[in-house]
Amino acid sequence: MMDETHTRQLAWQTFCKHHTEPGNLALHLLGFALFWGGLGLTLLHQDAIWLFAVILSGPIATLGHQLFEADVPASAAPPGHPWVPRYVGRMIWRICTGEYADDVQQVSGRSPFMTAHPSRPILISGKEIH
């Protein structure tokens, strides 16, 4: 039987496999901001109208999968699952600290981010742009 640490590591790797394209990452960032911003504004203003932002956060992130990843990860938790904001938050933190590219590299063999060097072509999601 797998221990809890190993199970969480496999879940994180599965999450990373389904979050490699920059457009999908951007929509997840937007969804994350809507989720937490909507909760915060609801509490701050004591007005439930802001909960619409929370409700929209899941479909926006799912749209990122359909438009950019060409998948809806069936093996992952549904958008309303409590682990989803945690994993998206972890992903955003690791993007900001420069560590997420390593996570994606480990599971897919390529970096999800645009890289440029004067002597090399620009790469976007592994495709050369001249």
Q: Give the per-residue pLDDT at 112.
A: 60
pLDDT beneath 70, residues of the chain:
1-2, 72-82, 110-130
Helix or strand (DSSP H, E) at 48: none
Give me the residue label for tokens 């093996």: 75
What residues make up the domain containing 58?
4-129
Residue type for 11, please? A
At residue 48, the pLDDT reads 96
Q: Measured at the alpha carbon of residue 128, what is the angle toward residues 66 and 71, in degrees to the nearest 5? A: 15
pLDDT at residue 86, as a whole number: 83
Domain count, the chain: 1
| pLDDT of the residue at 105 | 87
Q: What is the pLDDT of residue 123?
A: 45
Interval 114-124: pLDDT, tens: 444 444 444 44
Looking at residue 55, what is its pLDDT?
94
pLDDT at 17: 86
Q: What is residue 69's predicted lDDT score, i.e. its pLDDT?
A: 86
**Can you give the pLDDT at residue 15?**
85
Q: What is the pLDDT of residue 115?
A: 44
CA angle 46, 90, 115 (to 5 degrees): 120
- Phi, psi angle pair for 3, to nearest 5°: -80, 165
